[in-house]
């Protein structure tokens, strides 16, 4: 990961004017990155994460796009870097979904049917298909796509034996990694499942201990945004042996009230419940949560190659993905975007991400991963930096302080600095 400092971007006590010019230029033009791209060479989107090799960083996020063999096969055929299946548990009979279970938020007035979709809410539960069926399909997919990455998403009740059994059974299918759902915001919290674990760091530490003592493949902990400080559970998961964290899952929400019927959406027999909010409108929130986790990981774990971060939230363009990668994510997950635009979306994502890389002459994801992270600081530091910049700009306008400051090389510019018109 490239490391930035103020000296990299040309700020010195004697060169504020250069700094002002530099900060408007593309980041790749003003940081000391080692860029090896050759003229005409195609940018390389491949990534290796926790030893898993993917053709690109785009991952199908756990949910409807990974609900069965047919759709997961379609994802591999379209070119997605990896697929995370819909979350499974030992007993699917307790999972009963309702319909409708989605609601959309459009730009414009309440109830608008024409505005752009900017938000999406679901009250959907984890997989309602028998575990045996899902396991059979995992095994079939790995047999047909041995070089592609298939990740099982799992969630269980507060029961060590149940977690151990579930891990053992999914690993027997040949899956490449496990993502643990510590973040589903709705459904069965009374059983200590989903966000009920992710919001309780003591409980999370215990369950992560069970999981990582049993698992033999990389484990990612999927974080809930419905918490004050997301770095706390992320730290607990990593300290408990998880190889990576994924963030964010959906945000607890009420999508809206139908002003004609006075009933909430999505409306089931006249009633509704809190759901999980996703799509474009959550992207800035997701970036903020990922930034906090990435800064914590960099500060406390350094650049350990065996730890990873997967960014999730409102990704519909290659630019959306680039933002997560610039913050330090290794992969980018897409779920709602696929539900809205189809599996072919990955081709657009790859093309747009390559365009971004060409613009900056990046040859690989690692050339720019995490580069923007160090531009986040405290408000007080922003005040200090601005005051210093103003002070330096004023000093430049005053011109030379003494005849001894004249130089031969900069004589013309030094003269110009003292001209009033």
User: How many C-beta neighbours within 10 Å does residue 109 have?
Assistant: 8
Asked if residue 83 lies in contact with residue 52, where contact means CB atoms within 8 angstroms, the answer is: no
Instruction: Return d(Cα 293, Cα 295) in angstroms, integer.
Output: 6
Instruction: Return d(Cα 71, Cα 258) in angstroms, integer.
Output: 33
Burial of 3 (0-12, 13-18, 19+ CB in 10 A): middle
Q: Are strands 58-60 and 331-334 parallel, antiparallel or unpaired?
A: parallel
Q: Are strands 275-278 and 244-247 parallel, antiparallel or unpaired?
A: unpaired
Max CA pair span of the chain: 87
Q: Name the active-site residue from 184, 208, 242, 350.
A: 184
Positive/negative CA dihedral, 193, 196, 199, 205: negative
Euclidean distance between the first and the last CA atom of the chain, given in angstroms as a whole number = 46
Instruction: Return d(Cα 82, Cα 67) in angstroms, integer.
Output: 14
Angle at 112 between CA 108 and CA 114, to 5 degrees: 90
Residue 108 is encoded by which pair of tokens?
């414009």
Angle at 344 between CA 342 and CA 350, to 5 degrees: 125
CA distance to 22, 255, 405, 413, per residue, from 410 (Å)? 19, 62, 10, 5
184 is catalytic: yes
User: How many C-beta neighbours within 10 Å does residue 306 have?
Assistant: 11
Residue 296 is encoded by which pair of tokens?
């914590």
Instruction: Return d(Cα 108, Cα 72) in angstroms, integer.
Output: 35
Instruction: Return d(Cα 210, Cα 202) in angstroms, integer.
Output: 13
Instruction: Return d(Cα 371, Cα 354) in angstroms, integer.
Output: 17
CA atoms within 13 A on the CB side of 35: 21
Q: Is 363 left (phi over 0), alpha (psi -120 to 50) or beta?
A: alpha
Instruction: Return d(Cα 270, Cα 257) in angstroms, integer.
Output: 11
Catalytic residue annotation: 184
């Amino acid at each position: 990961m490239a490391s930035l400092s103020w000296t990299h971007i040309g700020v010195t006590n004697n060169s504020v004017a250069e700094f002002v010019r530099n900060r408007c230029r593309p980041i790749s033009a003003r940081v000391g990155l080692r860029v090896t791209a050759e003229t005409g060479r195609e940018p390389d989107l491949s990534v290796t994460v926790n030893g898993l090799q993917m053709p690109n960083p785009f991952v199908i996020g756990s949910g409807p796009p990974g609900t069965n063999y047919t759709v997961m096969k379609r994802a591999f055929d379209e070119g997605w870097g990896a697929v995370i299946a819909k979350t499974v548990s030992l007993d699917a009979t307790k999972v009963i979904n309702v319909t409708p279970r989605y609601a959309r938020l459009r730009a414009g007035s309440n109830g608008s049917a024409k505005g752009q979709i900017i938000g999406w809410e679901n009250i959907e539960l984890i997989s309602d298909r028998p575990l045996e069926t899902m396991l059979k399909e995992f095994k079939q997919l790995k047999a047909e796509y041995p070089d592609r990455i298939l990740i099982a998403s799992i969630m269980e009740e507060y029961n060590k034996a149940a977690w151990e059994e579930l891990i053992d059974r999914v690993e027997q299918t040949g899956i490449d990694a496990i993502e643990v759902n510590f973040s589903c915001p709705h459904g069965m919290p009374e059983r200590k499942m989903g966000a009920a674990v992710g919001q309780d760091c003591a409980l999370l530490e215990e369950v992560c201990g069970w999981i990582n003592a049993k698992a033999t493949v990389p484990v990612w902990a999927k974080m809930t945004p419905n918490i004050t400080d997301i770095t706390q559970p992320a730290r607990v998961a990593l300290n408990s042996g998880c190889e990576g964290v994924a963030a964010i899952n959906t945000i607890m929400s009420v999508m809206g009230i139908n002003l004609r019927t006075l009933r909430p959406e999505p409306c089931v027999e006249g009633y509704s419940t809190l759901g999980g909010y996703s799509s474009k409108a959550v992207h800035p929130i997701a970036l903020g949560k990922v930034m906090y986790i990435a800064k914590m990981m960099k500060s406390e774990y350094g650049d350990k190659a065996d730890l990873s971060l997967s960014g999730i939230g409102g990704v519909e363009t290659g630019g959306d993905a680039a933002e997560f990668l610039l913050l330090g994510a290794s992969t980018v997950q897409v779920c709602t975007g696929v539900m809205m635009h189809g599996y072919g979306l990955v081709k657009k994502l790859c093309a747009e991400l390559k365009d971004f890389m060409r613009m900056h002459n990046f040859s690989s994801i690692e050339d720019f991963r995490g580069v923007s992270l160090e531009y986040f600081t405290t408000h007080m530091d922003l005040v200090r930096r601005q005051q210093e910049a103003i002070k330096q700009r004023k000093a430049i306008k005053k011109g030379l302080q003494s005849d001894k400051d004249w130089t031969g090389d900069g004589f013309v510019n030094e003269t110009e600095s003292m001209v009033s018109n």
